[in-house]
């Protein structure tokens, strides 16, 4: 069925009633993206036209170099007044948890897997996609833990989850475009790292360390150390 995406809200609603859930969700996502592109044709700093990338996932101003994302107009050079939803997930295989680092992290620091939600996605879909993209794992169970506002470098709403993989399906493929390293860490290793979590001394002697207490990543890891079964319990 062909649908005119630029129609009025009433037209869209009529069309939605004729579709199954999956197609209706695709349609609302497409319409939201088109509306967003339509409203972000010019850079708010330079006033110049912005250019859409091939995938249609962002717009860039060739003059100011500002990148505009549908989730929030974040870029280091413009303080964003909008919040972007970000999922952060601690994956466990029952006895170990998966930690990863990006090359931009301070030396030796490992954290849970994080990523921005895409437009049109549910939180569950974002968690599953991010984990698959970053380490190639398929998740079994997901459990919401907590959320946090995070202002670095721009406003994000961090949504933290525990997740588990099927027994035996633990082989990871690290996406080196996104991560510098990732690996499974035993309960003992993580509990010890939490106890001696002083970034300064850790960086000196080369041992791995975890995000500071104020980060929701730390809370997520601490929760797992205190109750390793939390990722496999029913939601
Ligand atoms: N509080 C915590 O415990 C904690 C832990 C990990 C990450 N974070 C925060 O979560 C956010 C995401 O983490 P990450 O590891 O994916 O970060 P990242 O900054 O490495 O971003 C990954 C990619 O997402 C893209 N991006 C940037 N802003 C975007 C937006 N608004 N919408 C869509 N894509 C965007 C960029 O192209 C970037 O290359 C960061 O702001 C980070 O500071 C917080």
pLDDT tens-digit series, residues 2-34: 555 555 666 666 666 677 777 777 777 787 788
The residue whose CA has the least distance to atom 18 of ligand 1 is 115
Measured in Å, residue 138 CA sits from the centre of ligand 1 at: 21
pLDDT on residue 215: 92
Measured in Å, residue 18 CA sits from the centre of ligand 1 at: 37
pLDDT band at residue 175, thresholds of 50, 70 and 90? very high
Measured in Å, residue 216 CA sits from the centre of ligand 1 at: 14
Task: With beta carbons less than 8 A apart as the criterion, state whether 122 and 128 touch.
Answer: no
82: helix, strand or coil: coil
Q: What is the ipTM of this complex?
A: 0.94
Cβ of 84 below 6 Å from ligand 1: yes
Q: Which domains does the chain possess? A: 50-78 (no CATH), 84-231 (3.90.79.10)
Q: From 166, 170, 182, 183, select the one nearest 232 (Cα to Cα).
A: 166
pLDDT on residue 228: 87
Return the higher-pLDDT residue of 55 and 216. Answer: 216
Q: From 197, 115, 191, 118, select the one nearest 160 (Cα to Cα).
A: 115
Report the residue count for the chain. 235
Is pLDDT of 149 > 70?
yes
pLDDT on residue 30: 80
pLDDT on residue 196: 83
Cβ of 215 below 6 Å from ligand 1: yes
Between CA 76 and CA 227 the distance in angstroms is: 37
Measured in Å, residue 33 CA sits from the centre of ligand 1 at: 20
Cβ of 88 below 6 Å from ligand 1: yes
pLDDT on residue 12: 66
Tokens matching residue 204: 């000196």
pLDDT band at residue 43, thresholds of 50, 70 and 90? very high
Give 98-148 pLDDT, tens digit per residue: 999 999 998 899 999 999 999 889 999 999 999 999 999 999 999 999 999
Cβ of 172 below 6 Å from ligand 1: no
What pTM was computed for the model? 0.82
The residue whose CA has the least distance to atom 22 of ligand 1 is 115
Cβ of 150 below 6 Å from ligand 1: yes
pLDDT on residue 74: 43
Measured in Å, residue 231 CA sits from the centre of ligand 1 at: 23
Measured in Å, residue 156 CA sits from the centre of ligand 1 at: 8
The residue whose CA has the least distance to atom 17 of ligand 1 is 115
């Amino acid at each position: 069925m062909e649908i005119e995406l630029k129609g009025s809200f009433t037209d869209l609603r009529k069309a939605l009633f004729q579709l199954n859930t999956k197609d209706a969700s695709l349609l609302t996502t497409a319409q939201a993206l088109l509306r967003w592109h339509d409203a972000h044709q010019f850079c708010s700093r330079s006033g110049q036209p912005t250019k859409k990338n091939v995938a249609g996932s962002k717009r860039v101003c060739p003059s100011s170099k500002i990148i505009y994302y549908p989730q929030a107009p974040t870029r280091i050079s413009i303080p964003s007044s909008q919040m972007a939803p970000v999922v952060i997930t601690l994956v466990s295989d029952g006895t170990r948890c998966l930690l990863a680092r990006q090359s931009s992290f301070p030396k030796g620091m490992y954290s849970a897997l994080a990523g921005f939600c895409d437009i049109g996605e549910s939180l569950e879909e974002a968690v599953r996609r991010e984990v698959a993209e970053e380490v190639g794992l398929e998740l079994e169970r997901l459990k919401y833990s907590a959320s946090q506002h995070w202002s670095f470098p721009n406003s994000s709403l961090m949504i933290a989850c525990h997740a588990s993989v099927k027994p035996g399906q633990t082989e990871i493929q690290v996406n080196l475009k996104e991560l510098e390293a990732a690996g499974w860490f035993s309960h003992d290793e993580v509990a010890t790292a939490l106890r001696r979590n002083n970034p300064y001394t850790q960086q000196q002697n080369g041992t791995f360390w975890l995000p500071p207490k104020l980060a929701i990543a730390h809370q997520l890891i601490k929760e797992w150390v205190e109750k390793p079964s939390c990722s496999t319990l029913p939601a």
